[in-house]
Amino acid sequence: MSLKDQVDVARQLLANYPVVTIPREVMELRKLLDLYEFPNPSKIKELVSTSPTLAGDLVALANKLSQKKPQPKSIQSIDAAIDFLGLKNIKHYVFCVQIQKMLDASPVQGLSYHSIVIADILVQLTKKLNLLNTAEAYMFGLVHDIGTFLFAELDKLHPETFVASLMNHYQVHQDEYARFGTTHSAVGYVMTKDWGLKDEVCKAILLHHEDDLKRIKDKGIRQLTAMLELAHVLALENKKNILETELPVLYEDTIQVLGLTEDDVNQIRRQVHP
């Protein structure tokens, strides 16, 4: 069950079952923001304005985030939304809006809620670790299990069982490989690579059920993988069905890789489980 084999099979399956399509204006905006460090705001506005739905979603998101500020304000225009969200973050926010819609419409039961919980925890972790900016960390959480969209297409019963299968963090890949010849993580890797997400993020998605983080040679990828696995621990630690022998091992491995103390993790727990 080599990673290369998993990725090759995932790519072949996606060629026959293109389960997710990102709107043209979203991909063009990502390319524009990747090309220029300081892109022209008017060009961003022009691209966003080609989709009234996207424009409305961005204004709504800016208003939602503004309400969390000490002095919230009403944001009524695309210009004001772009200014509030910031040129550095807007490509991630645009992607988050699109992925959230897909998750909400997905037949996979509980996936949207699970992904939002993981995304919220990753935001708190990255504030402590500074491995990603907060918008990118949130997007990382939303897309990390996006590969299961393919399995929902291949097996109509899969949407009823996927989130429950995550209770067995290490076994889930073996079960998927036996059924589909690949894993949701490998499918997610192929999808996010095709969308142009950061290479380290894509590889962390590929590896996020790894049972031995020491096998990941690249420090940055190892840390992002550990961050995502720790988010799973914190999301699942209150669930009664999680294997008791698995969770402590995963927890100890991840906090060691990330250099976190128990006090650090408790601070994050208070943020995500108030």
The pLDDT value recorded for residue 53 is 87
Place 270 in a pLDDT band, splitting at 50, 70 and 90: confident
pLDDT over threshold 80, residue 212: yes
d(CA 217, CA 89): 29
The pLDDT value recorded for residue 22 is 86
151's tokens: 């399995």
d(CA 97, CA 94): 5
Rg (CA), the chain: 19
The pLDDT value recorded for residue 274 is 55
The pLDDT value recorded for residue 200 is 97
240's tokens: 């009664």
Q: Alpha carbon of 190 to those of 60, 93, 164, 169: distances in Å?
A: 30, 21, 24, 21
* pTM for this predicted structure: 0.90
The pLDDT value recorded for residue 244 is 57
Mean pLDDT of the chain: 89
The pLDDT value recorded for residue 242 is 52
Place 10 in a pLDDT band, splitting at 50, 70 and 90: very high
pLDDT over threshold 70, residue 241: no
Place 33 in a pLDDT band, splitting at 50, 70 and 90: confident
Place 271 in a pLDDT band, splitting at 50, 70 and 90: confident
pLDDT over threshold 80, residue 1: no
DSSP string, the chain: --HHHHHHHHHHHHHH-------HHHHHHHHHHHH-SS--HHHHHHHHHT-HHHHHHHHHHHHHHHTTSSS-----SHHHHHHHH-TTTHHHHHHHHHHHHHHHH-SSTTHHHHHHHHHHHHHHHHHHH-SS-HHHHHHHHHHTTTTHHHHHHH-TTGGGTHHHHTTSTTHHHHHHHHHHSS-HHHHHHHHHHHTT--HHHHHHHHHTT-S-GGG--SHHHHHHHHHHHHHHHHHHTT-TTS-TTHHHHHHHHHHHHHT--HHHHHHHHHHH--
The pLDDT value recorded for residue 239 is 63
The pLDDT value recorded for residue 61 is 87
The pLDDT value recorded for residue 50 is 85
Count of CB atoms within 10 A of residue 107's CB? 13
Mean pLDDT of the region 95-122: 92
Greater confidence (170 vs 56) lies with: 56
pLDDT over threshold 80, residue 250: yes
Mean pLDDT of the region 30-56: 83
pLDDT over threshold 90, residue 35: no
pLDDT over threshold 70, residue 238: no
The pLDDT value recorded for residue 12 is 96
The pLDDT value recorded for residue 90 is 86
> For 17-21, 166-170, 201-205, which range has the lowest pLDDT when averaged over its residues?
166-170
Greater confidence (181 vs 163) lies with: 181
Mean pLDDT of the region 190-194: 95
